[in-house]
Amino acid sequence: MKKLLAPLASVAVLAFAFAAPSALASNATKDEAVAMVKKGIAYIKAHGIEKAYAEINNKQGQFTDRDLYLVVYGLDGKCLAHGANERQIGRDLLDLTDVDGKYFVKERVALARAQPAGFWQDYKFTNPVSKKIEPKTMYCEKLNETAVCGGVYK
């Protein structure tokens, strides 16, 4: 019996060892968010607003990866591009609040004006993968009169 259980235990340990990292890898990381924002800004500069925003809005495009996607806001609070919810595009989102009543777009554009080199902002938002409201942290950089942002769920 022991001869039979030992190999099975080894297989179970190996299965867990290989499954655990992939489960953790399902959410994007802060480093990936920063890299995607920088990539998005470079793309906007290289290809222009019209082509870049169309690519950001494309859910199968290069600016969507698992639960990570880009969003671009005008500093007036208007959503200019959104990688997860095209219904937000063109809307003034300045008065949008999270479940705790935080005016996160208003705060985000104020931070973009004050910290153009880049910043992190915490709030709660619906995860496009889990479909649940979760704590999120958003990395943003100012580009001209916009904030280019990508966030990760905690």
Domains of the chain: 27-153 (3.30.450.20)
- pLDDT, tens digit, 9 for 90 and up, residues 109-118: 999 999 878 9
Cβ–Cβ < 8 Å for 113, 143: no
Q: Is 103 helix (H, G, I), strand (E, B) or coil?
A: coil
Per-residue pLDDT band for 16 (boundaries 50, 70, 90) equals: very low
Quote the CA–CA distance of 22 and 7 in Å, as a whole number: 23
Closest CA to 150 of 142, 141, 138: 138
Quote the CA–CA distance of 146 and 128 in Å, as a whole number: 23
Quote the CA–CA distance of 154 and 99 in Å, as a whole number: 16
With tokens 């004050």, the residue in question is 114
Instruction: Tell me: pLDDT of 61 over 70.
Output: yes
Q: What is the arithmetic mean of pLDDT over 16-25?
A: 40
